[in-house]
Amino acid sequence: MAAAVNIAHSDCMAGRPLATPKQSCFYKMYSVILTLNTFTVLVTITADVLLHADSVEHIMENFRVIFPLLSAMWVQLSMSFQMRATEHMMVLAAAFTWEDLQKKTRPDVRFKMTNLLSLIKPATLRILIIFFGCHICYISLRLGLGDNHPLSINAYYGLNTSNSPLYEIVNASQFLMAANCFPIFFVYTSLYVFLVTIACSQLEKLTASLLDIRQKTDTSEQDSHAEIDHEGEQGQVCTPQDVFCRMQKRLNDCIRHHQEILRFMNALEEAMNPVLMGQFLLILTGMCFAAFSFAMSFGNALNMTQSTMGYGAFLVQLYAYCWFGSELTRLAVGVRDAAWGCDWVGTPATFSRCLVFVIAAASKEFTLTAGKFVPVSRTTMLNVINQTISYLMFLMQVKDKNTTGE
């Protein structure tokens, strides 16, 4: 999946059609083995939960692994069902032009989201390295400080796993599961961010193009951000009729561009909302269990660190989903203001009617959703964080009262 996302990043940025790599038999076998191993580890962790049902702290320790694991498996499973919708969305993304991005030599405040496109991949890699590095440190401390050959993750295999070579094989299997799930956990979020940023960058480009439509009689004053090539007209003074024809042509290009963006945004919603539905449920549940685990293991530095890391990983996902989703909504509505702000006073009635069409289309608020009922917005993010923090504070108070009572 990480390789596919890397290809999608490159193809979309280059404006090429999406290239689906041909999978070899070896790669298919490798994928099947990884998936079976991940499923096996999940089953053994769940069996260990049932075996230690009387120990809440032990159960919470297992749940800190189960929910991120379920999140990665949900992404892998749901994306396989959404493959056709995802490919359609990628084709629409690759059809956009990127000449403004390629020619730009310095940051432009009007293209904030466009400037982020080249930063998404390295930022994802750094976040992945940080969290996976923390996981390796946690496992090293757990194995080094634990008694009686503890496993890197609590699991029940029905065998005595403390003897060699079974002990090493089980730990290697669990490490392989982590090495498989960590990239999936963060890479899908990166793909979502990248595709939403593409839509945002095109909306920024459209907004700039609409604001650049002006009643200029001197073609030498045309803005460098205009999409239409006016070679041969530079320095010429045009008649009002020529000016209105040029403005109408540019507005027609903007309308076509806007329709392409709306098609891409609708495809984005159709491809992403089923996956986001499961993701949001797992994020909310995972953050609550991480908070509960933190409260239950208060005083155990190692377990508290893992709880914080799990909460932080889900928080990064939630922030990425909701912040970029809100930006897409804001920029989509901003097209309406840009259309109203262009130089339309005194133009012919045909131009005004076309402008009303743009304003009407942009006035319909677009919001990405999780399962068609939860808006992917900053408001949702703040509600989730507020609820989980309140839940943590309540648990800490209950724990303090129980400790005082004893």
Measured CA angle at 389 (ends 388, 391), to 5 deg: 65
Q: How many CB atoms lie within 10 A of CB 157?
A: 16
What is the per-residue pLDDT for 227? Answer: 41
Q: How many residues does the chain have?
A: 406
What is the per-residue pLDDT for 163? Answer: 85
Q: How many CB atoms lie within 10 A of CB 171?
A: 18
One-letter amino acid of 295:
A
180-211 per-residue burial string, b: 16 or more CB within 10 A, e: under 16: bbbbbbbbbbbbbbbbbbbbbbbbbbbbbbbb
387 — phi, psi (to 5°)?
Answer: -65, -40
Q: How far apart are CA 279 and CA 74, in angstroms?
A: 8
What is the per-residue pLDDT for 225? Answer: 44
Question: What are the respective helix, strand and coil percentages of the chain, to the nearest 5?
Answer: 75, 0, 20
Contact 155, 45 (CB under 8 A): yes
Contact 33, 214 (CB under 8 A): no
What is the per-residue pLDDT for 193? Answer: 95
The tokens for 9 are: 């990043």
Q: Could you tell me which of 234, 384, 240 has the C-alpha nearest to residue 319?
A: 384
What is the per-residue pLDDT for 21? Answer: 60
User: What residues in the chain have per-residue pLDDT under 50?
Assistant: 3, 7, 13-17, 101-107, 220-235
Collapsing DSSP states into helix, strand and coil, what is residue 138?
A: helix
Q: Could you tell me which of 312, 315, 304 has the C-alpha nearest to residue 384?
A: 315
Model confidence, pTM: 0.85
